[in-house]
Structures are given as C-alpha cells and as structure tokens.
Structure 1
Amino acid sequence: MAPSRANSPSSSGSGADYGFLGSVSRFWHKSYAADYIGFALLFTGYMVLQFFVEPFHRMFSLNDLRISFPHVEVERVPLSLDFVYALFIPMIFMIVYNFATGASPHKHHVAVLGFAIAMILTSFLTDVIKNMVGRPRPDLLARCLALPNTPRDILVSIEVCTETDHHRLHDGWRSFPSGHSSFSFAGLGYLSLFLAGKMRIFAHGPGAGIGEHTEKLVRGDLVRALLCGAPLLGATMIAISRCQDYRHDVYDVCIGALLGWTVTYWSYRRYWPRLSSSRCDEPYAGPPGADDMNATRYARVRDEEERIGSGQNVGFELQRINRT
C-alpha cells in the first residue's frame, strides 16, 4: 500500500529539514551568520555612500551669517583621531579587560560583535541622513568661494562656487547630523555601557521574599561610577570640538550624539541584559550550537522574566507550586 501523502516529508512541511536548504537553515539559526551578513551589508552600504553618493545641495545666501564662519584647516579632532578615540581605544580596552578577567570566548565574541555593529550602523545612518538633508556647514561660504558678482540678497545654488577641491566643496553640505559626535557616542558610549555592566554599577536582584519589591544587591561606589562615565565625557569633548572648529552648530552635535547613543544602546541590549539586572555582567546565551558553554548559561529572556524569585513572575511561582 502506498504511503499516505499526509505522512510524506514534503506534505508535512518538514521538507526544509532535509538537503542543502535544510543545512543552510540549521546553520543560519545555530550561528551568528545573520549578524555577520547584516554587518557586511551595512559596511558595503557605507562604502557606497562614501565614494559614490553626493549630498543634496541646499540653496544658501551670501548674507547668511550662520554659514559665514572661517574654514579651519587643522581640526582639533581630525577624522583619524576620532577613529582612534572612538573605535580602537574602546575595542582594545574591552579585549584587554576580558582577557584580564578570564572571560569566556562567548563574552569576547559578543562584546566585539555588538560593538562593531553599533559602529557601522551609526556610521551608515549618519551618512544617509547627511546626504539626504544637505544642510550647509557653518563654514560653507569659506569653502564655496562664490563668484565675485554673485548677488548677496537672494538664494543661490552650488553653481556659484569656484572651489575646485571636490571633497572640500561637497562636504560643506554634510552638516547635519555631526558624524564625529554620533561616532564618538557610539564607540565610547558602548564602552561606558560595557563597564557599567561589568562593574555592576546599577545591578539589582530578587527581594527577600515573594511579593516584595526588588532590592539593590550591589551599590557601585563613586570611583567606579566615574570610571564608567569617563568615556561619555570624552565623547562630549569630541562633540564640542566640532563647534569650536566651525564644522557644526550645537543642533548638529546634539542630534548626532543622540543618534550614536541610541544605536549603541540598541546594539548593546541585543547581547547583554539591562544594567539593573542581577546578571548584567553576563551576556545572553548565543544561538544553539554557536557556543559550547550554552548549557551553563541562561537563555535569552525578556526583562520581566529575569525577575525569577522576586515574586513577580507568575510562571515561575506556578512551577514552584507544582514541585511542592
């Protein structure tokens, strides 16, 4: 008797578990492949923006004092130093810290992966917004070098500019938001979150009994709290330097800082619990099969599910009743 079609693999919907596609599916769900592919796509998009996309050129007036500041040739924090301060120093510090504390390979992996995703996503979003908005920098007129007979009381376009340096001219319309600010708050902000989690500055834990409020387990001293906040102070100083160099105004800098901080917090929380969690110094478990130590780690759970033992998790209390 022929087997029923209802019992065949293809008809039961389990055909994806077999063959090449099944192998790809299992690899996809049991590794960080999706994260690395997403990172590669973001990096590719960022490179395209850097080399092939020009910003929207908003019209301007030669009488506009907001864009009449001088063009500073030597910046206080050039792009190369911004990479050193916001990218290399935080990454090296996290790697050294993990080695010094005997962190597992999983901690090393997610610390660097989350940091890298935060940096590339921040850079990509910043450049997308920059090119679409096309806001003139405070030093646009010094970059433009408008024709001598250009009318001063009407709006004019980039056609009146005589500057021949392509990058110097077109970069004059990339004021909003500040890339230095978003990049520094993404990199140094991630380091601040990393330190706050490792030092358990805001850590809380379960209360003494069922139904009681969550009590604080660890009270971070002021020295440790200041150490965790130091990277944010550095990011703030980098952002302020952009106003001092007349590359941005306060509005550009504040929005850039907010963008960088938001993206880095989002990326950090994809791999680490909230800072008030009693397990804030331990990352979430990786995909099944991605880490041999998953069996000894707690699974990825929602924040409200981390309150096991505090009397605020109904499912846990029902399990306790069933055991008794």
Structure 2
Amino acid sequence: MTPNRGSPSREASGFLPALARFWKRSHAPDYLGFLVLLFGYILIILFVEPFHRMFVIDDLRIMYPHAEVERVSVLMNFVYALFIPLGIMIAYNTMTKASRHKHEVTYLCFAVALVTASFLTDVIKNAVGRPRPDLIARCMPQEDTPAGVLVTSDVCTETEHHRLHDGWRSFPSGHSSFAFAGLGFLSLFFAGQLHVFRHEAGGRDLSRALVCLVPLLGAALIAISRCEDYRHDVYDVCVGSLLGYTVAYWSYRRHWPRLTARDCDEPYPYPGSDTKPSWTRLRDEEEGGTSRGNIR
C-alpha cells in the first residue's frame, strides 16, 4: 500500500534535506555553538588587551605583593575543574551503564558550561579593566611618579607584556568562574542522579546531599585562594563564582529536567523526539510528579 503524500513517513530525499533533518534531530547546533565560543575565547586571549583604568600609585587597595607562585595555577585549575569532574562523570556513567545519549549530553553540557563561562568572563574582564590588588607590584611605577593623582599605564616600567597588562584583568575572577562552572556542574549532575531534591526517592538522605556539596566546597576553596594570592578581592571572587555557577545551571537545564522532576536522572531526548522508552518530558509545572489528573 502506497503511503499518503501527507504521511510523516515520506521525507524528502537528497543531501540538503538529510542535512536539515540531522541538524534538527541531533545536538549539532550545540557542537557548532561550542566551537564558535571556543574560537572566540582563543581570539580574546591572543589578541585582546584590557581597558587600562587610571590609578593612584599610593592606593593601598592595589599595593599588595605580587605572588610569583599561585596556590592554584591555571593548569591546576584545569585539573580540578575540568579533568577531575569529567573523569568522575565518565566513571559514573560507565558504572551505571548509561545510554549513549546520556553520555553525550553529560559531556556536551559540561563542555558548553566551561567554555561559555570562560568566554563571558574574559569579555567582561577586558571591558571593565579593573586593576588587580597587586597592580603596583606589577607596574613598578617610575620613581618620579606623583602620588595622590590619577596616572595611566605610561608610568609603568615593567616590560614583560603579560605580567603588566594582566594587572587590569581583576573583575571578575576567572579562576572562580571556571571552578564554579566545572565543579558546579558536577554538583548539579549528582544532585539529579542521586535525587537529592526528590524526598520520596531518598532525598532526605544527608549523605547524598553531602556528595553534591563536596564539589562546591572545592570550587569555593579555589575562589578563596585568589584572595590569598592577592590576585583578586572578595568582590571579584563573588561575582566570578556567581557567574560560573549561573552558567553551569543554565547549561545543565537546557538538556536536563528540574532537580525535583520524577526522572531528573535522565536527560531530555534528542531534539525532534517527543518521548523515549519509560520517559516522557513533562511541563515544568508537572515535573514535581503531580499531574493535573491527580489534583482535586
């Protein structure tokens, strides 16, 4: 029997229609967006210099010593906020025999959170151009620089380019935003997997909640270390932390249901697919496990 022309089983053939179907029924737009953000972030690092705010050489807020050795270096921040969370999620998904779709969504959302937080942080850093607490130690002003008046970076004698210009990238803290994007996402992931906010599913178990708090504690310690190294003040660190965690939550919720949802441990199905076996995407007002039919 020949299907009707209007039947959904008949789809246009050819390369372009096939490409359009692939685009609509896969996470290809997310991968493209990730690459665009990553490319933009790399360009910012390589070619963009921050706005240089004027400063006063006897301002005590920017006269802290410059720490040559950081408590948490950039490399170690990658280890703590990227490689360790990624390894933990891979191990968990492997041990629980997660579907290929769940593997893909987990790592894709995680990567998008990290690169988005990094991109936004650096855009804001360079636009604001706030001096770091150790700016004077970096700048090494000329001896005849007058005190008590605003001066520009022209008075600096430091010749090492990155050391000097990085002194105007204080707000917000990049370490903090990256740490809370990566470790914050790991916390959200485990909150969903362990049903921490589903009381009828064992969410009152404190041990489960503590598992989710450990990554946040780690991120907080990384953020605090930036104040101890005099790279940032509390304001920089708090805003960076909030930015990173907000981006982590945004990226997580794009592909995962609310943490109070019945199936919060499973991601939404592929785009263009309404349901999958034993799972139905519910409206937000129904994700708490109460359908309209049960309301009297």
Partner Cα distance (1:164, 1:61) in 2: 20
Distance 2:278 2:110 in 1: 21
Return the offset for 1:217. 4.0
Please give the residue correspondences for 1:152-163 in structure 2 after superposition, counting only pairs within 5 Å: 152-163=147-158
Post-superposition offset of 1:303:
1.2
- In structure 2, distance between residues paired with 1:243 and 1:17: 60
Give the drift of 1:220: 3.5
How far apart are 1:299 and its partner, in Å? 4.7
Structure 1 equivalent of residue 214 of structure 2: 230
Within the candidate set 264, 277, 280, 1:296 is matched to 277
Q: Report the Cα distance in structure 2 between the residues aligned to 1:300 and 1:33, rounded to whole angstroms.
A: 21
Cα displacement string for residues 289-311 of structure 1 (whole angstroms, at most 9, x for unaligned residues): 7xxx9631535443114356x24
Match of 2:231 among 233, 240, 247: 247
Residue pairs, 1:53-64, within 5 angstroms: 53-64=48-59
Distance 1:299 1:273 in 2: 11
Give ranges in structure 1 of 5+ residues lacking alignment: 1-15, 205-215, 318-324
* Root-mean-square deviation over aligned CA pairs: 2.1
Equivalent in 122, 138, 143 of residue 138 of structure 2: 143
Paired position in structure 2 for 1:186: 181
Q: 1:53-75: CA deviations, max 9, x gaps?
A: 00000000011100000000011
Structure 2 CA distance, aligned partners of 1:217 and 1:301? 18
Match of 1:71 among 59, 63, 66: 66
In 1, the alpha carbon distance for the partners of 2:288 and 2:196 equals: 18
Task: Give the counterpart letter for 1:123 in structure 2.
Answer: S
Mapped partners of 1:219, 1:153: distance in 2: 58
Give distance in 2, aligned partners of 1:199 and 1:164: 53
Number of the residue aligned with 2:3 = none
Q: Which of 147, 168, 174 is the aligned partner of 1:173?
A: 168
Deviation string 1:84-119 (CA, Å, 9 cap, x unpaired) is: 000000001000011011111111111100000000
Q: Which residue of 2 aligns with 1:109?
A: 104
Offset of residue 52 of structure 1 = 0.5
**Aligned-partner SS, 2:276:** helix
Overall identity of the aligned pairs, in %: 61
Q: Please tell me whether the aligned partners of residues 105 and 267 of structure 2 are also in contact (alpha carbons under 8 angstroms).
A: yes
Measured after TM superposition, the shift of residue 20 of structure 1 is 4.4
> Could you tell me whether the CA contact under 8 Å between 2:258 and 2:287 is conserved in 1?
no
Which amino acid in the other structure matches residue 221 of structure 1?
D
The number of aligned residues is: 286
| 2:40 paired with 1:45 | yes
Q: Give unmatched runs, 5+ long, in structure 2.
A: 1-10
2:8 counterpart residue number:
none
Q: 1:31 is matched by which residue type in structure 2?
A: S
Question: Which moves more between the two structures, 21-30 or 105-114?
Answer: 21-30
Change beyond 3 A, Cα 1:275–1:295: closer
- Flag the structure with larger Rg: 1
TM-score (norm 2): 0.91
3-state DSSP of counterpart to 2:279: coil
Check if 1:283 corresponds to 2:267.
yes
User: Is residue 2:122 matched to residue 1:127?
Assistant: yes
Measure the CA separation in 2 of the matches of 1:296 and 1:232: 34
